[in-house]
Amino acid sequence: MTPRSTYLSLAGREIHCMEWGADHHKTVIAWHGLARTGRDMDELAGHLSAQGYRVICPDTLGRGLSQWSPQPQQEYKLAFYARLAADLFEQLGIASAHWVGTSMGGAIGTVCAAGCLQPQLKARIRSLVLNDNAPQLADAAIARIRAYAGNPPAFETVCELEAFFRQAYKPFGWLSDAQWRRLTETSTRRLPDGRVTPHYDPAMVQQFVHHPDDYLLWEHYDQIDIPMLLLRGAESDLVLPETVEHMRTRGPGSQGRLQVIEVPGCGHAPALNVPAQLDAVLDFIRRND
């Protein structure tokens, strides 16, 4: 199924989205990770749209083809991303949707599903998939991500950048050569000096400077009362086993609505590109339609 590229004005910013299965009525929001783009969701979106779902894959503000923020300190934070999501639902006429979020995308889904920041979204999100994300993240892993995301490297050639991505994102698990090439080509921009670098605004890492507790989300997690699936990379250094155990006793976990699947051969975060991962997400969404 051929996706459609579209640009929306959300919270006064131009946001790029890929839309799959536009004619389908049941909707899934698939939101990418911190330094990535919506094109990471191509395999998942293709899989779900083939099963009758409309799938919306945004590029977050400052990533991919979306506008960079002119006010990075105020806008690179979960509260503003939730505002983007609320406007997305309104402009696209989404009455309800399932949410699949990788890393940061899962955190955005958490605050939206909780309804503390955008109350109108609480009743609109039917289920939530966290792809290697949790209400509390390991400090060491955050420091690692902050270090590389805030100082993106530059290379003379796209092939050199692909080699960097293959190493940096090795924890994603297995990707085919074609998938590595697409990941590279959909997250590359050329600098004024002709070199290439990852396609995001380095200032987005200011979220960790000006909003250091932005990803401490137990308060939001405790308000969630919908089914939740946690896909945890078995080798993840971001979502620790002890955090998962706390999740089982709070919020949707205390209600028996939390399902946890350990994804072998992956760290942070599974690429959602192989049958076992795709089917796990599809089966969960189907059960909660």
CATH number of the domain residue 88 falls in = 3.40.50.1820
Distance CA 29, CA 244 (A): 24
Asked whether 39 and 65 are in contact (CB, 8 A), the reply is no
Q: How many domains does the chain have?
A: 1
- Is residue 42 a part of any domain in this protein? yes
**For residue 147, pLDDT beyond 90:** no
Q: What's the pLDDT score for residue 148?
A: 81
How many residues are present in the chain?
289
Going by pLDDT thresholds of 50, 70 and 90, the confidence category of residue 149 is confident
Answer for the pair 198, 188: CB distance below 8 angstroms, yes or no.
yes
Query: Is 209 part of any domain?
Result: no
Cα 118 to Cα 79, 124, 146, 196, 202: the distances in Å are: 9, 11, 27, 37, 27
- List, in order, residues 6 or more apart from 222 with CB less than 8 Å away: 250, 251
Categorize the per-residue pLDDT at 146 as very low, low, confident or very high, splitting at 50, 70 and 90: confident
Residue 126 located in a structural domain: yes
282 within a domain of the structure (yes/no): yes
**149 assigned to some structural domain:** no
Residue 144: per-residue pLDDT:
87
Residue 258 lies inside a defined structural domain of this protein? yes
Res. 169 pLDDT band, cuts 50 70 90:
very high
In a domain? residue 243: yes
CA 142 to chain centre: 16
Domain that holds residue 20: 4-138+215-287
Q: Does residue 66 belong to any structural domain of this protein? A: yes
Mean pLDDT of 285-289: 96
* pLDDT recorded at residue 253: 98
